């Protein structure tokens, strides 16, 4: 009996399935300790969200410029036309980073700022100069650049020819990537090809809620765009590998986002299966080809069976040729992970045939535990345990890649600057998510090599406009210089960086602000009891 339970617990650990406790942690304890000496601390932004100067100095139009100016789909019709004006304020940004104490800064290059028409036929030297200045300013302040090539701002000129639905865009992306390696690679040694392909294709080519705004053939365009993104990623990786790695000695990878899908009830097999299927659809869609050459089987089967039921002659999920499989396999020197929160997942196949679409193919549904603290974004609940779970899942599902957490953070919607700066909820979030990451490293052996806080400052939060603030720094959008002010969380993050972890001192583990923190889920209690029973069995053995 004891052994069976012991094995069960070990299995749960191996599978990366951890229960959660009322404080949102995976084991009810706060772990004190230090990160490895060479652990990388960073903070992030992206070009469209902060730069402003959308049509200045020869910059071309991007699909986000077009989307915000015409779609009517952004909260309050906000745009990134001005944003934080980092195009002018980049030196201030670097000082914020220096005060945080980070060793790295993750930013993105705007493709149409350097190639206004998308192709290398027209290079905008003023755009190149802007990024050269930013990179030099970072290095002068001892901060290393972590450069994302594509954070969603495709040149509109390429969109006019079909964008990511047209395979020639892959070649244009490869040309653009090569140009960046040539012009910036003497000083940049950490490269990310794409940020969050899942969001790009699900939101942009399925629901139409993000640029370029397609919603007409969600079960088809979504997968075609995803297919092209994977091939474009592989092309750029090989270009770096073949032409630049030997001299520039850098590394290049991709950043994928996922939530953590916790089975709604771990004793219901269909919930467990659905949660794993959700992880494969959300993360495996892009990670599986990169590590194993092709889409996950469950995804091929689901889309294949649904397509058949829809009387289509072939699956809506495109197929890679054997040559493509070979060229995609192994094209990430590290795994970039953007993680924000967990959900409770269960099986949902109420509409076996349609309407066709990624979510219908996935056939899962999500719930939340009302005990989870909320944030300024509907999709984001404060669930620190998910960080440890997702890191363990990646560790066991793929061949133990080095992982950079390339984004993690939380939003709020403060009513005033004063409230915005006193952001205890954000401090709570960072401390506890980072602590769960520490557990994944120290207790579970996951190879996490760096952490990036999203975001350095408040900025344009896509379809949510400026309403949801994710910054460590408050941005005063009405001031002429878009003044940045450190929030309390910036100081807390700085201290974690300075200590390289958590030194032994008392810390509150009670979730703060507007939270039903006393409601404990039955599920949580059940597993807690199971856990303590186990401990008892072990002790009395």
So which residues are the catalytic ones? 196, 407
Q: Are 354 and 360 contacting, i.e. CB atoms less than 8 angstroms apart?
A: yes
With respect to ligand NAG, which residue has the nearer C-beta, 327 or 528? Answer: 528
Q: Single out the residue of 529, 258, 50 nearest to residue 520, CA to CA.
A: 529
Q: How far is the CB of 124 from ligand NAG (least distance, A)?
A: 6
Phi, psi dihedrals of residue 41, rounded to the nearest 5°: -110, 135
Q: Are 129 and 90 contacting, i.e. CB atoms less than 8 angstroms apart?
A: no
Q: How far is the CB of 484 from ligand NAG (least distance, A)?
A: 11
With respect to ligand NAG, which residue has the nearer C-beta, 3 or 518? Answer: 518
Q: How far is the CB of 300 from ligand NAG (least distance, A)?
A: 6
Q: How far is the CB of 399 from ligand NAG (least distance, A)?
A: 25
* Cα gap 441→508, rounded to integer Å: 22
Output the residue with the shortest Cβ distance to ligand NAG: 304
Q: Return the DSSP state at 62.
A: B
With respect to ligand NAG, which residue has the nearer C-beta, 69 or 238? Answer: 69
Residue 364: burial class (beta carbons within 10 Å; 0-12, 13-18, 19+):
buried
> Residue numbers of the site for ligand NAG (CB under 6 A)?
58, 72, 76-77, 116-117, 122, 124, 161-162, 166, 168, 265, 267-268, 300-301, 304-305, 308, 310-311, 353, 480-481, 522-523, 526
Q: Single out the residue of 161, 171, 151 nearest to residue 111, CA to CA.
A: 151
Q: How far is the CB of 481 from ligand NAG (least distance, A)?
A: 4
Q: Are 100 and 494 contacting, i.e. CB atoms less than 8 angstroms apart?
A: yes
Q: How far is the CB of 344 from ligand NAG (least distance, A)?
A: 10
Question: Looking at the chain, how many residues does it have?
Answer: 541
Sequence-separated (6 or more) residues with CB below 8 Å from residue 432:
23, 24, 25, 30, 382, 384, 509
3-state SS of 283-311 is HHHHHHHHHHCCCCHHHHHHHHHHHHHCC
With respect to ligand NAG, which residue has the nearer C-beta, 96 or 188? Answer: 96
Q: How far is the CB of 172 from ligand NAG (least distance, A)?
A: 7
Q: Are 36 and 508 contacting, i.e. CB atoms less than 8 angstroms apart?
A: no
Q: How far is the CB of 171 from ligand NAG (least distance, A)?
A: 8
With respect to ligand NAG, which residue has the nearer C-beta, 338 or 347? Answer: 347
Q: In terms of DSSP H, where are the helices of 109-192?
A: 111-114, 125-140, 156-159, 168-184
Q: Return the DSSP state at 450.
A: E
Q: Which own/partner contact pairs does 290-295 have at CB distance under 8 Å and 24+ positions apart?
A: 290/230, 290/233, 290/254, 290/328, 290/329, 290/330, 290/331, 290/332, 291/329, 291/330, 291/332, 291/398, 291/399, 291/401, 292/329, 293/320, 293/325, 293/326, 293/328, 293/329, 294/320, 294/325, 295/320
With respect to ligand NAG, which residue has the nearer C-beta, 268 or 367? Answer: 268
With respect to ligand NAG, which residue has the nearer C-beta, 29 or 161? Answer: 161
Sequence-separated (6 or more) residues with CB below 8 Å from residue 197:
226, 229, 230, 233, 254, 256, 286
Side-chain-side CA neighbours of residue 311 (13 Å) = 0
With respect to ligand NAG, which residue has the nearer C-beta, 100 or 114? Answer: 114
Residue 366: which H helix or E strand, with range? Answer: strand 364-367
Sequence-separated (6 or more) residues with CB below 8 Å from residue 528:
19, 21, 28
Q: In terms of DSSP H, where are the helices of 310-374?
A: 322-328, 358-362
Q: Are 23 and 510 contacting, i.e. CB atoms less than 8 angstroms apart?
A: yes
Q: Single out the residue of 310, 514, 518, 539 nearest to residue 413, CA to CA.
A: 514
With respect to ligand NAG, which residue has the nearer C-beta, 239 or 307? Answer: 307
CA trace torsion 279, 282, 286, 290 (10° rounding): -20
Q: How far is the CB of 479 from ligand NAG (least distance, A)?
A: 7
* Cα gap 402→336, rounded to integer Å: 9
Q: How far is the CB of 41 from ligand NAG (least distance, A)?
A: 28
Sequence-separated (6 or more) residues with CB below 8 Å from residue 455:
43, 44, 45, 49, 409, 470, 471, 472
With respect to ligand NAG, which residue has the nearer C-beta, 141 or 481? Answer: 481
């Amino acid at each position: 009996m004891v052994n069976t339970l012991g094995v069960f617990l070990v299995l749960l650990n191996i599978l990366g399935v951890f229960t959660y406790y009322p404080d949102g942690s995976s084991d009810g304890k706060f772990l004190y300790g230090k990160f490895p000496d060479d652990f990388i601390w960073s903070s992030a932004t992206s070009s469209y969200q902060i730069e402003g100067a959308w049509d200045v100095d020869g910059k071309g139009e991007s699909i986000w410029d077009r989307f915000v100016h015409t779609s009517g789909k952004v909260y309050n019709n906000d745009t990134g036309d001005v944003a934080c004006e980092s195009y002018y304020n980049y030196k201030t940004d670097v000082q914020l980073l220096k005060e945080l104490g980070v060793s790295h800064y993750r930013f993105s290059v705007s493709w149409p700022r350097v190639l206004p028409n998308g192709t290398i036929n027209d290079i905008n030297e003023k755009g190149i100069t802007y990024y050269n200045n930013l990179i030099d300013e970072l290095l002068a302040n001892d901060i290393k650049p972590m450069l994302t090539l594509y954070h969603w701002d495709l040149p509109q000129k390429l969109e006019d020819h079909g964008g990511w639905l047209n395979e020639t865009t892959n070649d244009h992306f490869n040309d653009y990537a090569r140009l960046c390696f040539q012009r910036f690679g003497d000083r940049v040694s950490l490269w990310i090809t794409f940020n969050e392909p899942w969001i790009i294709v699900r939101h942009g080519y399925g629901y139409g809620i993000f640029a370029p705004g397609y919603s007409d053939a969600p079960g088809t365009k979504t997968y075609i765009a995803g297919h092209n993104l994977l091939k474009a990623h592989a092309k750029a990786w090989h270009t770096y590998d073949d032409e630049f790695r030997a001299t520039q000695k850098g590394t290049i990878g991709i950043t994928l986002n996922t939530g953590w899908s916790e089975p709604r009830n771990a004793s219901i097999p269909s919930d467990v299966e659905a949660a794993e299927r959700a992880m494969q659809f959300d993360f495996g869609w892009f990670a599986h080809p990169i590590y194993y050459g092709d889409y996950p089987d469950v995804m091929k089967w689901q889309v294949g069976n649904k397509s058949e039921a829809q009387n289509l002659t072939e699956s809506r999920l495109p197929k890679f040729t054997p040559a493509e499989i070979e060229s995609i396999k192994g094209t990430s020197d590290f795994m970039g992970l953007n993680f924000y929160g967990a959900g409770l997942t269960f099986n949902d196949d109420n509409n076996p045939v349609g309407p066709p679409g990624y979510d219908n193919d996935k056939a899962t549904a999500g719930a939340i535990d009302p005990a989870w603290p909320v944030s300024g974004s509907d999709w984001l609940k404060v669930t620190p345990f998910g960080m440890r779970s997702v890191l363990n899942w990646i560790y066991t599902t793929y061949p133990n890649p080095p992982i950079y957490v390339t984004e993690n953070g939380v939003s709020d919607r403060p009513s005033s600057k004063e409230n915005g700066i006193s952001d205890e909820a954000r401090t709570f979030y960072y401390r506890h998510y980072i602590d769960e990451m520490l557990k994944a490293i120290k207790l579970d052996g996951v190879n996490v090599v760096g952490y990036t806080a999203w975001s350095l400052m408040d900025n344009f939060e896509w379809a949510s406009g400026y309403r949801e603030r994710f910054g460590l720094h408050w941005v005063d959008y009405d001031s002429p210089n878009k003044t940045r002010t450190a929030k309390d969380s910036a100081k807390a993050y700085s201290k974690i960086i300075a200590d390289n972890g958590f030194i032994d001192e008392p810390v509150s583990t009670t979730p703060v602000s507007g939270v039903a923190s006393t409601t404990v889920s039955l599920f949580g209690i059940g597993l807690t009891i199971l856990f303590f029973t186990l401990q008892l069995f072990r002790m009395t053995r």
